[in-house]
Amino acid sequence: MKEPFIELRNISKYFARVIANKDVSFTINKGEVLALLGENGAGKSTIMKALYGLYHADEGEFIIDNEPCIINSPKDAMRMGIGMIQQHFSLIPAHTVLENIVLGNEKGILDRKKLAEKVYSLSQKYNFNIDPNSYIKDLPVGVQQKVEILKALYQDVKLLIMDEPTAVLTPQEAITLMDFVKDFVKRGHSVVFISHKLQEVMHIADRIIVMRNGIVLGDILKKDTNEKDLSKLMVGKDIPVLKKTTTQFSETILKVENLTVAGKQGHLALKNVSFTIGKGEILGIAGVSGNGQQELGETLSGLYLTKEGEIYLENQPINSLSVKERIDAGIGYVHADRHTAGLVLDMSLSENLLLKTSFHKEWSNKSFIKRKKLNKHAEKIVQNYSVKTSGIDEQMKGLSGGNQQKVVLGREVEIGTKLIIFDQPTRGLDLGAIEYVHRTILEERNKGKCILLISTELSEIFALSDRIGVLYDGKLLRIMDKEDANTESIGLLMAGINNIEANSDNINTKDKLPGRENTNNES
């Protein structure tokens, strides 16, 4: 039943600092969902980008329909029937759906009406429901992804490569996507599904290829394997399970009341959010990104002004304090975007440590930087956090992601004497660094600080939190103790379904909240 479509033979790809793929060989069959499984940095995206013509393979060849093929650009790949949906969409927010789909596919004068009809009927074929004249920036992320897919379908692709497609979807939207994948594959086409999520891969794939550090470690049919075996292949070593001590929470350190904040596009990013965090407690906030997480962290750190509501730190209102004043008050903030918001990549390690405290007298003598003291402090951080670097004067951009995050951690835990906010602290890090970050979070919590952990990784939330809340469409739905929470209930909350009682016969009376995600009602 499965005849081969594309074969990759001995593909290798090198970058300036890294060997991304070494001697990778496997086959993609027709009518099959092939999963590429591996953790971040395993080389899965790179090999597919080479197939799609975005990168040039340094060694090896591609065989398509038994003919060797040269693929030098996406145009070549598309001619062979290969389409790719990237992690970061290559859509143009300021343009319409129609303009995005038509780009590069139509020539000459554009007859907008005729083209709109063409696009719309194509979208109907696959059960998408998209207005061709809507602007991408107004569409929710799940719908944007559909536009990306539609773009590939417009070109009659036979292989669809999807790179971490569920990263930006709710569990329910992910189900819809899986339905599409199954439908597409039934028509005799192929899908390569790149993911680091074991459960997902076991659900959707027919065959699984496991990669680590740029090489292929396993090429297995799904029916011949299970999650445990796969994770062993993925990781290669046993990760120690972190022991978490439960504590009794005494005083409330952070109290947030009825926080309402306007977002960048004028909509309300946070609506009536209330919660407290006690001394030595970790509150985990789960949720698909884009539901107000970033605004929550940024408001607490002083960047956003609240429309309504109050924030109390140790019973003192801090609403009117500036970013600088909140740093002085002992709030540390590890931002989700460590490159843009947390570090100055062109500056040295030591200079980055000064970033938030340059106003403080302890680092400056009449405005002159106390170099010696700063350098000593930098050495201490490098040692305490095992930062791999050539020296405290090395530019931050020379460090790996994990080591950069360690520096940010080292800085923020010093600043955050009362409260530390972590937003996606382990995104893009390898397992060793992830374990380090988790250890640090627990250590700080044991010191009695209150921790706000915002993450889209449910496993992380479950591993670290004492209590868990879910952000959906700017509202904080339900905070429960860790013991009372499970993936299903959290998953439903993440999609906005807030059952007062979690029995199945109450599902019809669900409190479905108005939100952007409701424009596509396929669940």
Tell me which residues touch other proteins (CB under 8 A): 15-19, 53-54, 73-76, 78, 84, 86, 88, 90-95, 99-100, 102-110, 301-303, 322-327, 333, 335, 337, 340-347, 351, 354-356, 358-359, 363-364, 367-369, 371
Tokens representing residue 415 in the block: 């600043």
Cβ 223 to other proteins, closest distance in Å?
35
The number of C-alpha atoms within 13 Å of 420 and in the hemisphere containing its C-beta is 29
Measured at the alpha carbon of residue 291, what is the angle toward residues 289 and 294, in degrees to the nearest 5?
70
Give, to the nearest 10 degrees, the angle between helix 112-125 and helix 141-154.
100
Nearer to other proteins, 107 or 264 (CB): 107
Whether the CB-CB separation of 282 and 445 falls below 8 Å is answered with: yes
Q: Tokens 């800085």 map to which residue?
A: 411
Cα 496 to Cα 498: distance, rounded to the nearest angstrom: 6
Tokens representing residue 61 in the block: 């060849």
Nearer to other proteins, 54 or 513 (CB): 54
Nearer to other proteins, 199 or 340 (CB): 340
Cβ 193 to other proteins, closest distance in Å?
19
Cβ 39 to other proteins, closest distance in Å?
19
Nearer to other proteins, 189 or 335 (CB): 335
Task: Provide DSSP, 312-350.
Answer: EETTEE-TT--HHHHHHTTEEEE-S-IIIII--TTSBHH
Nearer to other proteins, 343 or 485 (CB): 343
Cβ 513 to other proteins, closest distance in Å?
31
Task: Provide DSSP, 31-87.
Answer: T-EEEEE--TTSSHHHHHHHHTTSS--SEEEEEETTEEE---SHHHHHHTTEEEE-S
Tokens representing residue 336 in the block: 């989700």
Cβ 85 to other proteins, closest distance in Å?
10
Cβ 459 to other proteins, closest distance in Å?
27
Nearer to other proteins, 26 or 333 (CB): 333
Whether the CB-CB separation of 160 and 85 falls below 8 Å is answered with: yes
Nearer to other proteins, 17 or 223 (CB): 17
CB atoms within 10 A of CB 137: 12
Nearer to other proteins, 337 or 522 (CB): 337
E strands of 424-501, at which residues?
A: 450-454, 467-472, 475-481
Give, to the nearest 10 degrees, the angle between helix 171-186 and helix 487-494.
90
Cβ 520 to other proteins, closest distance in Å?
23
Cβ 340 to other proteins, closest distance in Å?
5
Cβ 307 to other proteins, closest distance in Å?
20
The number of C-alpha atoms within 13 Å of 258 and in the hemisphere containing its C-beta is 4
Nearer to other proteins, 343 or 382 (CB): 343
Cβ 11 to other proteins, closest distance in Å?
17
- The dihedral built from the CA positions of residue 93, 287, 226 and 37, taken in this order, carries a sign that is positive
The residue type found at 82 is I
Bridge partner list, 140: none
Cβ 86 to other proteins, closest distance in Å?
8
Q: Are strands 19-29 and 4-14 parallel, antiparallel or unpaired?
A: antiparallel
Nearer to other proteins, 82 or 209 (CB): 82
Nearer to other proteins, 353 or 490 (CB): 353
Nearer to other proteins, 75 or 114 (CB): 75
User: Would you mind telling me the total number of residues written for the chain in this entry?
Assistant: 523
Cβ 192 to other proteins, closest distance in Å?
16
Cα 88 to Cα 188: distance, rounded to the nearest angstrom: 27
Bridge partner list, 443: none
Cα 308 to Cα 298: distance, rounded to the nearest angstrom: 15
